[in-house]
Amino acid sequence: PNAFMLQLREFLTRAGVEILSGTDVLGFEFQNKRVVQLKVSRDNQVQKLPVEELLLATGAWSQHLARALRLKLPIQAGKGYSFTLPQREGQRLRFPSILAEARVAITPMGEQLIRFGGTMEIGGLNDGINLNRVRGIVKAIPKYFNGYAVEMPKEPNIWYGLRPCSPDGMPYIGRSNQHDNLCIATGHAMMGLSLGPATGKLISEVITGKTPSAGMALFEIGRYARRQ
């Protein structure tokens, strides 16, 4: 993912996209069914940015921002952990695999490294590391790969990410009824990297007023707004 994101960033920058790193969206201003300004925190200052089209794609944080946009968009953060180790001479794991019962994924990263990841911890938006969850991954590995025992990684070597999970497991993709210039693309849970390109295609079609190249009914962003 790191190599992919660096290349994507380079591609977008070359295409003229300006990426404002270290900029937190704090709130929105509205006028006549449109979002007209973003309130952001940047360089320790609150600034306002004008909005033409707004795409909300803020992963596990989307529920809170959606609330500020006066939308009901249920999303829970599903935390997953991973750690990456050097490949072992004579015990090289060459193929990606999913240890289905243990819910652990094993992915060779280039030639030299192997990544172990898994778990789905629904525990809110926090940056704590639950070592018991990581221990579960460590213990599962030799059950599938005889003689491949792995030591518990040190905390600084454990990575975690928050997956954006919707109640029905489907993403939210489409244009809002609430604001004419607001679209949403989020809630991809465990599949965001794989589904990113298709989502990008669909949402670009929505934004530019083209007919979406796939059915969008299951992704409807207002599907929980009606179930009060």
Residues that bind ligand FAD (CB under 6 A): 24-25, 57-61, 65, 80, 82, 117, 161, 163-164, 186, 188-194
Specify which residues 185 forms β-bridges with. Answer: 173
By C-beta, is 125 or 214 nearer to ligand FAD? 125
The identity of residue 170, as a single letter, is M
CB atoms within 10 A of CB 175: 19
DSSP 8-state symbol, 70: T
CB of 211 to ligand FAD, least distance (A): 24
Closest separation between CB of residue 35 and ligand FAD, Å?
A: 14
CA distance 134 to 119: 8
When the beta carbons of 7 and 194 are compared against ligand FAD, the nearer one is 194
CB of 29 to ligand FAD, least distance (A): 15
User: Whose Cβ is closer to ligand FAD: residue 192's or residue 211's?
Assistant: 192
Nearest to ligand FAD of 49, 193 (CB atom): 193
**SS3 labels along 5-68:** HHHHHHHHHHCCCCCCCCEEEEEEEEECCEEEEEEEEECCEEEEEECCCEEECCHHHHHHHHHH
Q: Give kind and range of the element (H or E) at residue 111.
A: none
Task: Give the residue with the Cβ less far from ligand FAD, 12 or 193.
Answer: 193
State the first-to-last Cα distance of the chain, in angstroms, to the nearest integer. Answer: 38
Nearest approach, Cβ of residue 149 and ligand FAD (Å) = 22
Q: Which residue is nearest to ligand FAD (CB)?
A: 192
Closer to ligand FAD by Cβ: residue 4 or 210: 4
- Min dist. Cβ of residue 148 to ligand FAD (A): 20
Query: Considering the complex, what minimum distance in angstroms separates the CB of residue 221 from ligand FAD?
Result: 14
Rounded CA separation 80/163 (Å): 7
Give the integer Cα–Cα distance in Å for 207 and 12.
18
